[in-house]
Structure 1
Amino acid sequence: MKKWLFALAAAATTLVGMAGVQQASVHAADTWTPVATLGVSLTPAQKSGTLTTLENAASVSDVTQLTVNGSTLVKYLNPAGSSFTPNSGVWSSALVQKTSSGGINVQIVDYNGVNNITTITADQYRNAALTAGVSNANIYITSAVKIDGSGALAGVYAAFAQNGETLNSSQITAAQDEVNTLSGITQANKGQDGYSDKQLNNAVAGMKSQMASQSNSGTQTLSQNQIGNIVDSQLKQNNLTTVINNNQRTQIINLLVKIQNSGALKSSDFKAQANKLASSIQASAKGLFSKLKGLDTPENRNFLQRLWDSIVNFFETLGDWIQSLFS
């Protein structure tokens, strides 16, 4: 029954549609200029088309250009277990704008009318950026060819380094672990009733906020049991308790332990950025989250209990009747 209600929620969300990514007003610091990170494997025509696509989406021009190559992937992504080489191809690209407020916003932009980012979702990019230490930025992602989107993520980190804000390497490694974990869970639950990538990323953003609160901004170390309780609380709030299996729950707990160990929680802005991320995810899918919150009411719990009691009584009566046939 619960899965049936989730199916109704998903259908309602599809009918309502997803809202666009919330945009923050751009107030770049004097030392921070917008950067377009372009994959080294793009042909000249693709490079020009990619730059135009990103600049149009961001409503900017004459941005700083930075080439992302295999060595960039090795530097930022391999410490988390990826196996890129200096000769690896890169197609996915990004444009990064620093803002004074508004949290982390990511828009995956169609290239010639097609979304070519096959694996990493906008909300996964946002959660990874948060873990890596990014705050208050508008990020635009695109690709001229079908690709998972790792090159664009490495480009985001390189864009900050280009502007003199080198992000913590331990946090970047934890962020890449996060992308691998969340994208894997989303792929495993693709098409399952009661699951969406937005629910998972909203839950993870909430977990980060709770961890920052309970650890007093990273000054106290949370035990694995405490983190497990936080995970369970957020999975319940996002109606994922019956969808996320024990193995996936363990993956999330292990990921959050890595995030804690990376030092990400110690940032004075981490909790606020996590809360902004969660609020933005919910705002982008109001139909979904309103429906999910509506499911967790005393009335619905009572209805489900009555339905379950009726099913149990039916089978008990059926069993008694069958037994009477042989008595």
Structure 2
Amino acid sequence: MKFNRLTRTVFVGTLLMGVATLPVSASTQTQTKQLSQPYVVIGSGNSDKAAMLDLLDPNSKAKQLTVTGTDGDQYLNLQGVSDSAMISSVSVAPAEPGSGTLVNIEKYDGANNITKVTSQQYAMAATMAGVNDVIITVSSNQTVSGESALAGVYKALASDGTNLDADNTAAANSLLSATNPAQEEVGADKAGKLSGAVTETASEIASAKQDGNEMSGNEISNALNDNLSNNNINISVSARQPIVTALQNFQTTPIASNKTFIKNAQNQAKNLKQSTGNMMAKANDFLNSEDAANLRASADGWWNKIKNFFTSLFN
């Protein structure tokens, strides 16, 4: 079939108009717009939804979602994970601009049921995935490693219109898991310095790549060693190698070619190095006063439980 020039022009123009009107749900490398509202995402394996909602959203202001095994596969590449295995729950709220990612691990009935992952590791991984200027609160009503919790964060962002690239989110979670042996060696008091050193190394890898100089495995290892040493972190070779491997994988992800990521990672690394404990965010870090009130209400609820317990002993 032959087309003259006019026919070809009309055909191509019509085709392009049709493409332009198709709905597009493209992924993005970094979060570029402020979260529009708070979210609470309950794990599908959570056995007490009402209690978890009372903990993470005591003022009932957040949009409610459920994170499933399918979400774990989509965002974290957790192939074959069941709905019942998705136990961790999260709340996600907008933070003040320039805050980076701040993470609180909330106790459930007085117990920290997130056994393997620190707040700083979550913040590091979320930054690697492209998250920025949000406050994340993680909790669980039963003992879990906590390694799948960020799937709920990425689902909340997607619901808000920010679809983070799945290659980035999966690589970020691999890095989170890779830092667990090192975290066990250094202890909780150095969690911020460890995650900060890894995040700083990632920013250097991205910067070198964008300058046309991808790092070799040895160069990544040396850069990591330097950043660990600068933060007085000493870890074994067996704990360091998984991090190097995960950083090599990070270098191949789309976000490593994103200029905004470098700035975000540098800012996050600085904040992480100064962070200790499992409560990174304070009330004044929240963008909205209602979200800050949620944090205070959650703390008040726990304190009231303690007071009621001791009161009951004498009644």
Q: TM-score, normalised by structure 2?
A: 0.70
Shift of 1:83: 4.9
Which of the residues 265, 268, 276 maps onto 1:277?
Answer: 268
Question: Which segments of 5 or more consecutive residues in structure 2 lack a partner in the other structure?
Answer: 1-32, 278-315
Supply the distance in 2 between the matched residues of 1:246 and 1:124 (Cα, whole angstroms).
Answer: 20
1:113 is displaced (CA, Å) by: 2.0
**Uncovered stretches (5+) of structure 1, i.e. residues with no partner:** 1-27, 287-327
Residue in 1 that maps onto 2:217: 224
Match of 1:325 in 2: none
Q: 1:212 to 1:89 in 2, by over 3 A?
A: closer
Structure-2 change in CA distance of 1:259 and 1:141 (3 Å): same
DSSP-derived class of the 1:94 partner: strand
- Give the aligned CA root-mean-square deviation in angstroms: 2.5
Aligned runs of 1:192-271 on 2, under 5 Å? 196-216=190-210, 220-240=213-233, 243-271=234-262
Whichever residue aligns with residue 52 of structure 2, its letter is T
Assess if the C-alpha contact under 8 Å between 2:90 and 2:136 holds in 1: yes
- 1:50 match: 52
- Out of 87, 91, 99, the residue aligned to residue 91 of structure 1 is 87
Q: Which amino acid aligns with 2:37?
A: T
Give the structure 2 partner of residue 178 of structure 1: 175
Partner SS state of residue 215, structure 1: helix
SS at match of 1:67: strand
Whole-Å separation in 2 of the counterparts to 1:191 and 1:150: 18
Displacement of 1:155: 0.5
Partner residue in 2 for 1:34:
38
Q: Are the equivalent residues in 2 in contact too, given 1:68–1:151 (CA < 8 A)?
A: no
Q: Deviations over 1:61-105 (max 9, x none)?
A: 42111111222222222x3xx454344332210011233331010
Is 1:64 aligned to 2:63, yes or no? yes
Cα deviations by residue, 1:11-45 (Å, 9 ceiling, x for unpaired) = xxxxxxxxxxxxxxxxx84x7221111012233xx
SS in structure 2 at match of 1:198 = helix
Residue 157 of structure 1, CA deviation: 1.2
C-alpha contact (below 8 Å) 1:104/1:273 kept by paired residues = no
Asked if the contact 1:39/1:151 (under 8 Å) is kept, the reply is no
- With over 3 angstroms needed to count, the CA separation of the structure-2 counterparts of 1:186 and 1:84, relative to structure 1, is farther
Distance in 2, Cα, partners of 1:52 & 1:151: 21
Question: Does structure 1 conserve the Cα–Cα contact (< 8 Å) formed by 2:68 and 2:82?
Answer: yes
What amino acid does structure 2 have at the position aligned with 1:54? Answer: L
Give SS of 1:284's match. Answer: coil
CA deviations 1:38-63 (Å, max 9, x no partner) are 012233xx21221121125xxx6421
Identity over the aligned pairs, expressed in percent? 30
Which piece of structure 1 moves more, 265-274 or 218-227? 218-227
Q: How many residues align?
A: 244
When normalised by structure 1's length, the TM-score is: 0.68
* C-alpha contact (below 8 Å) 2:124/2:199 kept by paired residues: yes
